[in-house]
Amino acid sequence: MNLNRKALSGTALGVLAVLFVAVMLLVNVAFRGARVDLTHNHLYTLSDGTKNILKSIDEPINLYLFFSDKATQDLPQLRTYFTRVREMLEEMASRSGGKLRLEVIDPLPFSEDEDRAASFGLQSVPVSAAGDKVFFGLAGTNSTNGQAAIPFLQPDKETFLEYDVAKLIHELETPKKPVVGLLSSLPLAAGFDPATRQMREPWAIDQQWTQLFEMRSLDAATLKAIDKDIDELVVVQPKNLSDDAQYAIDQFVLRGGHLLVFVDPDAEMDQPGADPNNPMAAMMADKSSDLPKLFKAWGIEYDPHQVVLDRARALPISIGEGMAPVRHAAILGLTGADLNQDDVVTAKLDSINVSSAGFIELAKDAKDVKLTPLIQTTSDSMAVPGERLRMLGDPSTLLQGYKPAGTPFVIAARLTGKFHSAFPERNDAGALKESKDANGQIVLVADTDLLSDRLWVQIRPFFGQKIMNAFANNGDFAVNALDNLAGSSDLISIRGRATSQRPFTTVDAIKRIAEGRFRDKEQELQQELSDTERKLTELQSAKSKDQAQILSPEQKAELDNFLKRKLEIRKELRQVRRQLDAEIESLGTRLKVINIVLMPLLVTIAALAFAWWRIQRRRRAQGAHA
């Protein structure tokens, strides 16, 4: 009987094994090529913008993912992120129709692969005191020998992983520099300075823009149309622009051009009619700028005569030799907390300095547009007339009668949506009344001074060269904004993604509850200890000097009661700890049962049901043909 049972059990196990293999083969055939993203934040589902960029690839692009596999054996966090990067690149390659080719390379020390990684401009990062270095970067080439690279894939930038990779592919697909039109009334570029009657140096931001883009200066006085080959337009300190110039900007935006605008209620670097013999006239001149017709049509409210103060972000300035610095509520040092960390333009930036900045709002009657703040003040801020900053002696007077608004003021924002013409009455040939694209892109900044060198960079001569030492991220912001807008609409549409790091929120909640109970017990013990010490002190004070070193019966009883209660509370604290561990262990057991038993069972049932449905459909089709 026992032999029969053993034989039967062995046969059953064999049948189950054969059935399992058959089911796996059936699943492999039935779901070949099928992909389902079951992650909480859809980490492996590419955005529509990325899919469009992949579809638009004409010539093959090669991607090389360099990762030091052997050197990272003791770096689990980096290895986990490598898996995340590789899987996303594989997903992109599978969606590209064979136009995107991925190769994963382990550049061993002193190998040709290591030299190849260095030739692409990838960075090796030291990971040990012995000098061991790790490569973890992405390089790409196109059919015309063009190259692009991400020197090191940082885990803390996982939010923008898809954007960075899509941007690299886009650069390889369109290798020429973007053409940017610049319309500015401020002297950003090098030229002759009438105030000093000498040649002036270009601003640091102009040098950075020129290195990355093909900058083309435009003349506001003669501007009537913007060339079709200009990909992006930058407008700085627009003052009294003619209708023709504003109409040119209007039509540029409506036909899908991307716009970056810097306006200011008090542009300190503006020198209207600068006259060395009459400095007072220049000081009292109007230094505000505005695009009233365009802003109104786009649903933007901006007052060119209002300046933002923020005493929480006021920077100290010197008001005289030998005098203590004074905080200036109109010169602000904004921190990472004031920047939008979910937008690629301002993500990972730490500080931006602004001076006499204005603010922008979305009009209540605005339609078809959305305003996303990029830079804003704290809630401890207020708006004042710009006239208060003229002839300002002591900056501390700005705090007189200070009444914070209680809400932040937006200094820079991204405006997206469908824009309408500010000149609907004009019927020029090819005139547009509204934008062709429902995802138009404009970045608005209510301060021009943040572009000036004095607020973010020190430039010093060094053996015949100019060395830039940035102390704020103003330049990074201006470059990021231009770089982002210079890309295609598909690239701009890619937003930051959630990270693959999933916190154990339920476990954290259990720990917080248990720690709360633990703290309550500790406080109870501490309170009883204080009460006991107080009672012992009272009893001690009632004793004579001869009995001071001897415990009275009352003191001994009080001390015994406290020690007994202390042991009881410590026992309760241990019980709280045990309950915490038990709850976490119980949760872990439930998750293991779900992951190991329930989910595979559900997948198997779904596969069998799908296979049965396909068989039945095939039989019905054969019956119909018969």
Predicted local confidence at residue 297, as pLDDT: 95
CATH at residue 221: 3.40.50
Do the Cβ atoms of 405 and 361 come closer than 8 Å? no
Are 249 and 378 in the same domain?
Answer: yes
Predicted local confidence at residue 322, as pLDDT: 72
Closest alpha carbon to 376 in 408, 403, 350, 328: 408
Predicted local confidence at residue 282, as pLDDT: 59
- Please check whether residue 306 lies inside any domain of the structure: yes
Residue at which a domain ends, from 172, 205, 232: 172
- Within 487-598, residue ranges assigned H as helices are 489-493, 505-541, 553-593
CATH at residue 95: 3.40.30.10
Residue at which a domain ends, from 431, 464, 493: 493
- Please check whether residue 498 lies inside any domain of the structure: no
Are 97 and 187 in the same domain?
Answer: no
Predicted local confidence at residue 511, as pLDDT: 57
Q: Which of the residues in the chain have pLDDT under 70?
A: 1-10, 12-17, 20-44, 130, 192-196, 273-284, 462-465, 488-490, 492-526, 528-530, 532-552, 555, 558-560, 562-563, 565-567, 569-585, 587-588, 591, 624-626
Predicted local confidence at residue 52, as pLDDT: 86
Would you state the structure tokens that stand for residue 212, as one six-digit string? 């990355």
Are 488 and 617 in the same domain?
Answer: no
Predicted local confidence at residue 201, as pLDDT: 86
- Please check whether residue 313 lies inside any domain of the structure: yes
Are 283 and 323 in the same domain?
Answer: yes
Predicted local confidence at residue 488, as pLDDT: 67
pTM above 0.75, yes or no: no
Are 77 and 97 in the same domain?
Answer: yes
* DSSP string for 584-611: HHHHHHHHHHIIIIIHHHHHHHHHHHHH
- Please check whether residue 438 lies inside any domain of the structure: yes
Are 485 and 518 in the same domain?
Answer: no
- End-to-end, the C-alpha distance of the chain in Å comes to 53
Do the Cβ atoms of 261 and 294 come closer than 8 Å? no
Predicted local confidence at residue 260, as pLDDT: 97
What domain range includes position 309?
178-392+405-493
Phi and psi angles of residue 317, each rounded to the nearest 5 degrees, phi first: -130, 155
Closest alpha carbon to 93 in 104, 107, 106, 78: 104
- Please check whether residue 194 lies inside any domain of the structure: yes
Predicted local confidence at residue 587, as pLDDT: 66
Are 510 and 590 in the same domain?
Answer: yes
Predicted local confidence at residue 500, as pLDDT: 47
Closest alpha carbon to 389 in 488, 287, 321, 464: 287
> pLDDT (tens digit, 9 = 90+) per residue, 37-77?
555 555 567 888 888 888 888 889 999 999 999 888 888 88
Do the Cβ atoms of 355 and 339 come closer than 8 Å? no
